[in-house]
C-alpha cells in the first residue's frame, strides 16, 4: 500500500503537529523559574545577610530595585541579581600599575 500525500495535506499535518508541540511546551515555558522569585524585606535581608533597616534605607534612597505590591515593598530576584553585579568593585592587580618611589 503506497501512501501519497499532496502538498496541502503535508502543510495541514505540519500545522497540526506544530500546534500540539506548542500546546505541550507552553506550561513548561510559563512555569516559574529561579528568576521569578519575589523577596520581602525580611527574606531579602536574610538572603543578603544584612539588616532589614539597611534594606529599607536602600529603598528610601532608591538605591536598590524594588516594586510595591499592595503597598508592601517587594524585590525580584532577577533584578536583585543584576543590581548586585553592578555593585561589584573590580579587583586591582597591584603590579599592573607602575611602582612609585618613596623618598
Q: With a cut of 70, list the residues of the chain below it in pLDDT.
A: 1-5, 7-8, 27-35, 93-99
User: Domain for residue 8, yes or no?
Assistant: no
> Locate cell 507552553: which residue?
26
pLDDT at 75: 97
Helix (H, G, I), strand (E, B) or coil at 73: strand
* Residues forming a β-bridge with 75: 39
Q: How far apart are CA 45 and CA 63, in angstroms?
A: 15
pLDDT at 3: 60
CATH code assigned at 40: 1.10.10
User: Domain for residue 75, yes or no?
Assistant: yes
pLDDT at 65: 97
pLDDT at 16: 85
Query: pLDDT per residue over 39-63, tens digit each?
Result: 999 999 999 999 999 999 999 999 9
pLDDT at 98: 67
Q: String of b and e for 4-27 (b: at least 16 CB within 10 Å)?
A: eeeeeeeeeeeeeeeeeeeeeeee
pLDDT at 13: 83
User: Domain for residue 24, yes or no?
Assistant: no
User: Domain for residue 2, yes or no?
Assistant: no
Question: In which domain, by residue range, is 66 found?
Answer: 34-85
Amino acid at each position: 500500500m503506497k501512501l501519497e500525500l499532496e502538498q496541502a495535506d503535508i502543510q495541514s499535518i505540519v500545522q497540526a503537529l506544530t500546534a500540539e508541540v506548542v500546546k505541550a511546551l507552553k506550561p513548561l515555558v510559563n512555569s516559574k523559574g529561579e528568576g521569578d522569585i519575589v523577596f520581602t524585606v525580611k527574606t531579602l535581608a536574610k538572603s543578603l545577610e544584612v539588616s532589614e533597616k539597611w534594606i529599607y534605607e536602600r529603598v528610601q534612597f532608591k538605591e536598590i530595585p524594588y516594586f510595591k505590591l499592595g503597598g508592601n515593598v517587594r524585590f525580584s530576584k532577577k533584578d536583585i541579581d543584576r543590581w548586585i553585579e553592578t555593585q561589584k568593585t573590580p579587583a586591582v592587580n597591584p603590579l599592573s600599575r607602575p611602582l612609585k618611589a618613596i623618598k
